[in-house]
Structure 1
Amino acid sequence: MKISKTLVVFSYYVISLMPILAQNKPFGLVIHGGAGDFNLRKNPELAEVYRASLRYALDSGYRMLTNGHKAEDVVVAVIEILENDTLFNAGKGAVLTKEGHAELDASIMTGHDLAAGAVCGVRYIKNPIKAAQLVKNRSSHVLLSGPGAERFAFSNGLDSVANEFFITEKTKIRWRELKESEKFGTVGCVVLDQWGNLAAGTSTGGMMMKNFGRIGDAPIIGAGTYAQNEVIAISCTGHGEFFIRQVAAYQVAARIMYKKQAPAKAIQQTLATIKKLGGTGGMIAIDPKGRLYSDFTTNGMFRAGKNSLGNYFVKIHEE
């Protein structure tokens, strides 16, 4: 009986201390809205519109972290905000295929258990990142595609929308004009929560004018998204074929684990290997100490970050 009471008291003591212990741990997040060869230096009004959207998503996620939400839930909530924002190539406002449709991809990974979920080539799921989370949490699979992914998502309660929901006047114009400088784009979020857990997610409409069911790196775990506690959480954006060939997100983690490279160097060298092959893009990351990272080989990358250590940024170009 004594032992039983002691265990109860000890358990209560540990549980009561958990919020206090969590408060002493760093936490934070980094988000991105895609990298490319755009130049907003000569259009400060439009640049501020993008910054305002990034700030809103960033601050929403940071509030969740402050209130003790899990990394996975913050990733999903932040990316859902970005998917619903027509400024970015994900969800509503996604670029169009050669046939004039929106086809969407998304993935999520949690670092404490290396669990992951992804969907690709979906046309009727309002928020693909929520479908990716469902694949991770309610299936025995990692990646579901097309109509099968949609049936799975709808059977688990996600909203169905007409494909026209994703198509804005802006994407119609871009589709007609075939602006090569706006061909790529993605949104992503990486998080370290108060409990020391990492998570990463990525969502995209893919490449403008893509054909034949093309899938890029965004829904490929290890290429566009990767998270591993004690190492790093990564989300990528850019020319997906090259990121797939270099297993880019995992390559950063491998450089940190096996070559003992600092995260900033691991990211820079991974992007350099991609550039040598002819690909460009960018990455965001957060490490177990809450340090924020972003790097890119394009003219700019929409990005923002904030942590409990006092670091904060909202940037578009090299600033």
Structure 2
Amino acid sequence: MTCRVIKSLLAGACAALPMMMTSFSVEAHEVEKKNYVLVIHGGAGTILKKNMTDEREAAIRAKLEEALRTGQAILDRGGEAVDAVAATINVMEDSPLFNAGKGAVFTHEGRNEMDASIMDGRDLNAGAVAGVTHVRNPINLAREVMTHSKHVMLAGAGAEEFAKAQDIKLVDASYFYTENRWKQLERARKKDKTMLDHDGDQKSDKIAELGYDPEDPDQKFGTVGAAALDMHGNLAAGTSTGGMTNKRWNRIGDSPVIGAGTYADNNSCALSATGHGEYFIRAAVAHSVCAMMEYKGVSLQEAADAIVMNKLVKMGGDGGIIAVDKDGNISMTFNTEGMYRGYIKGHDAPVIGIYKD
């Protein structure tokens, strides 16, 4: 082999080296980007194993896993956190097992009035709807408010007029009717007590405050929510609810209130709350957790404990939160006997919980 040939081969090899190194760097970066996280809830309250049938528990666990798998599929192909949050919540809104969408509870007048909110941690953009009665998936309408309007929250008839303009699916009010929810309303009317969707097995002196009907065989169904970190490092969160059984005067809780029931900021965390809404509004729970992280430099779990396990408890508020921070750490913190919850990280199997275990 001549010197000229050898020099030519060496030159070719050296020229290819930077390309090989660049290719390897990109592949390594792609592996690092796969660290996505999704965490969800289906309501918190006095959820006790003794009050749960095996069939009901299996159905709840299966639906929570379906919701997680739906969001996982989006995140795994590089989808955005906001897409995963909305799709995940859709699964729970379409199930009568939870007080959101199809399973929404009835107001005192016998209507279904639903609330929802969503927030994008990239730019703090947010959208919310309150008191809608014909929107099959309120979280989808909240997202349209966020992306296709100059507003943050729309309510009632105006929100549904906007829904029509955005081709959001509307349904007849009969779609939301379920026998179980109607019976809950009848019992609540009979007792003339106001019941919260978020709470469970309480005795007579707590029925009005915490919303548990001791004659209800299903014990507990609640607000739904999701928070996600996508592989691009962006956070998002959303919450959807049917509100309070037997509520009056178009009461609105924390679920559609940005900073109370939902919050997301790439500088800290994404969070969805469930519980006694009036307390969560007063304590600005969702924003408070994220703000503690950003301004005090504490961990997600420290912030969650400070707000949910300390401040809320002192105020008398029951409930919990699910959250994920910018580094992929999660929190599923609640001060009740249980919370329907679950999370999934990357390709790992989903982890689901119901009771305080």
Q: TM-score normalised to the size of structure 2?
A: 0.82
User: Structure 1 residues 121, 22: closer, same or farther in 2, change over 3 A?
Assistant: farther
**1:202-227: CA deviation from partner (whole Å, max 9, x where unpaired):** 00001111110100000000000000
Deviation at 1:259, TM superposition (A): 2.0
Equivalent of 2:166 in 156, 162, 181: 156
AA aligned to 1:305 is: Y
Cα distance between partner residues in 1 of 2:297 and 2:129: 33
Q: Is the 8 A contact 1:28 1:290 kept in 2?
A: yes
For the pair shown, the structure with the greater C-alpha radius of gyration is 2
Q: What corresponds to 1:6 in structure 2?
A: none
Q: Is the 8 A contact 1:22 1:195 kept in 2?
A: no
**1:250-308: CA deviation from partner (whole Å, max 9, x where unpaired):** 00011111222211111111112112111100100011121221011111110010112
User: Structure 1 residues 183, 316: closer, same or farther in 2, change over 3 A?
Assistant: closer
SS in 2 for 1:81: helix
Structure 1: runs of 5+ lacking an equivalent:
1-13
Equivalent of 1:174 in 172, 184, 197: 184
Deviation at 1:41, TM superposition (A): 4.2
Q: Is the 8 A contact 1:223 1:249 kept in 2?
A: yes
AA aligned to 1:267 is: A
User: Structure 1 residues 93, 245: closer, same or farther in 2, change over 3 A?
Assistant: same
Q: What corresponds to 2:257 in structure 1?
A: 220
Matched, 1:211 2:248: yes
Cα distance between partner residues in 2 of 1:85 and 1:284: 20
AA aligned to 2:88 is: V
Cα distance between partner residues in 2 of 1:101 and 1:297: 30
Deviation at 1:23, TM superposition (A): 3.4
Q: What corresponds to 2:106 in structure 1?
A: 96
Deviation at 1:45, TM superposition (A): 2.6
SS in 2 for 1:208: coil
Matched, 1:24 2:45: no
Give the alignment's Cα RMSD to 1 decimal.
Answer: 2.1
Cα distance between partner residues in 2 of 1:315 and 1:96: 27
Alignment size in residue pairs:
307
Q: TM-score normalised to the size of structure 1?
A: 0.91
User: What is the identity percentage for the equivalent residue pairs of Structure 1 and Structure 2?
Assistant: 44
Q: Is the 8 A contact 2:47 2:354 kept in 1?
A: no
Cα distance between partner residues in 1 of 2:246 and 2:27: 49
SS in 1 for 2:102: coil
Q: Is the 8 A contact 1:93 1:170 kept in 2?
A: no
SS in 2 for 1:92: helix
Q: What corresponds to 1:300 in structure 2?
A: 338
**1:184-204: CA deviation from partner (whole Å, max 9, x where unpaired):** 721000000011000000000
Cα distance between partner residues in 2 of 1:265 and 1:64: 30
Matched, 1:290 2:298: no
Equivalent of 2:83 in 55, 73, 76: 73
Q: What corresponds to 2:203 in structure 1?
A: none
Cα distance between partner residues in 1 of 2:158 and 2:66: 33
Q: What corresponds to 1:316 in structure 2?
A: 354
Q: What corresponds to 2:6 in structure 1?
A: none
User: Structure 1 residues 101, 24: closer, same or farther in 2, change over 3 A?
Assistant: same
Equivalent of 1:127 in 122, 137, 140: 137
Q: What corresponds to 2:311 in structure 1?
A: 273
Equivalent of 2:120 in 107, 110, 113: 110
Structure 2: runs of 5+ lacking an equivalent:
1-21, 189-194, 196-210, 213-218
Q: Is the 8 A contact 2:47 2:220 kept in 1?
A: no
Q: What corresponds to 1:10 in structure 2?
A: none
Cα distance between partner residues in 2 of 1:19 and 1:152: 44
User: Structure 1 residues 109, 19: closer, same or farther in 2, change over 3 A?
Assistant: farther
Give 1:29-44 correspondences, 5 Å limit.
29-42=38-51, 43-44=53-54
